[in-house]
Structure 1
Amino acid sequence: MREAMALAVVGDDVFDECTTVKELENNVAEMFGKQKGAFVCSGTMGNLASVLAHCDERGQEVILGDKSHICLYEQGGISTLGGVHSRQLNNFSDGSFDISNLRNVIRPLYDPHQPHTKLICIENSHNFCAGAVVPEKFIRDVRSVCDEYNLSLHLDGARIFNAAVAEGKSVKELCKEFDTASICLSKGVGAPVGTVVVGDEKFIWKIKRLRKVLGGGWRQPGHLAAACQVGLNDVYSRLAADHRRAKRLGEAFENCGKDLFKVKPIQTNIIYIEVIKDGITAKDLSDYLAEGPQPVMSAPFSETLLRFVTYSDIDDEMVNTTERKMAIVCEKLAKG
């Protein structure tokens, strides 16, 4: 990947002169079955620009899950910068939400008191729902609602490759019901920087215009685009290994910590454990794991919820180390 970055042909992408970026955009668009792509710096920028492109009048509304990344971890940018109102529905454990509730919250166009619903967003796989793969039937049902009410459907596909590997399907198949998607290439794909937004030609023109006003114009981004392309070349086999390691860790955690925490079901590369022992928080457990000469890093998401992620830099020996470290910590905590 670093060799490809060093040798990459670069040009000014603001003036549409970077052939390496064009190649990446076209490759990702084709991979996902869409007309065009736009290379942006992050998933947050990709989602923000996408929502603003769909909801292009202030006061319009997007419907999304209450545990979605757009709702929880993107600083409310759609409201701050775009004046877009969000309506949250309760996410189920599989990342879906209730279709009847969805129908009930779509705003009537004739009522001057209410914002106009323009967009529905789905995240797949779903970070805060333990890396769950969102059911395809749910996505088809949402698509039907969008068609009925003339709404657009956007995919937060930060981890869509993980969903594809878990389902044994192509990303094109998983994306066919969506009008647009934001595809992060710096997570499972393993590139240092970058997201590609895909959609039709008119939509991508709007994305590139919004990218500029958000400070995302690229002058010499070919090095980064080249890294993304390398990451895509063998993404499916690498993610399958990540999933295998995550499930192995989940089993090990269950065996040594059953009195301390519960391991949530693992579908992809994300492991969530819920601390159940009184007097111990997720941060306590995380701090214990980070101690010593072989620290194991984890992320407390709440008082009781702790997240682990496997990715391309985590090999089998690191998994062995993590298993041993967790066993030691669990034994220590069990003794009080």
Structure 2
Amino acid sequence: MSIRLLVLFLFVALPLATANAAWPERPVQIIVPFAAGGGTDVTARLLARFLDKHTGGRGVVVVNRPGAGGEIGMAAGADAAPDGTVLTILNTPNVLTIPIERAARFRLDRFVPLANLVDDPGTLSVRSDSPIGSVQALVEAMRARPGMVTYGTAGVGSAGHIAMLLLGSVAGVTAEHIPYNGSSAVATALLGGHITVATANFGEAIGFAQGGTDASGARWRILGVMAPERMASHPDIPTFAEAGFPVQTGSLRGLGAPRATPPEIVAEIMHALDAVMADPEYRAAMEAATQAIRYVKGDEYAQLLGGMDAQLRALWATTPWNR
């Protein structure tokens, strides 16, 4: 091949090679629609670390965009350029409840649901010096003082808020809702004695329970978990069903891309996620962080979200959570 032909070949082939470069060509952001320090933040940071490992080390960073129960961050993710450089953690129920309750700046159909990553059941907790020592005792306290027991959540329509509404529906009781900007703020409020009960997903609650005491020496005490059976990692924590209140709910944490993301980029992302999920080091890190992996991909993930959306719309019809 002559020098002239070689130069011509390279001139033509270089743009083609660039166009076909594997994802990601540039650093990737993962938006967390909540403040740092909660279970969703942990999910995202572990994912970012191992996505970077399995995509050539171009850089995967977590960006916290809290506010409005997750609306600010999820709207930013939905509005991002559909080029695979911005992905968003999609939390249930927030990604579903926010568009149900108001004219939100995003909808689920503005995302490509890539895959669910974590299934984190709900819990209710009190301070260790609280006279409420069990799920039954909590329900009795709410029944004896309707609307006087206060509970903190990560926001209106959050997993904790929905969990308490479901418990109230099953047990026939009410309590006063105090929304905060993230689960870390809920933990601060509980240990500071500002609320009676804290809602948190299981992984978060375990972390808070292991986090030490406040100035008075009080600790975080988990009353029960809203799972079908006791968690293998902490079999001493009873389920709500054992107390006579069959409430099963919590938070699914998945990953979404802007709706117009090209199929070839989606395929590259899914390939990278498969590699992460098959990595024993990732699985060990998730177990150590009390992050229960539930990997559901593509259409199956979209169908899972669709079923949950129908359930939440039915709950909204009888018990609107923003009133």
Q: TM-score, normalised by structure 1?
A: 0.30
Which one scores higher on RCO, CA 8 angstroms, separation ≥ 6?
Answer: 2
Q: TM-score, normalised by structure 2?
A: 0.31
Which protein is richer in strand relative to its size?
Answer: 2
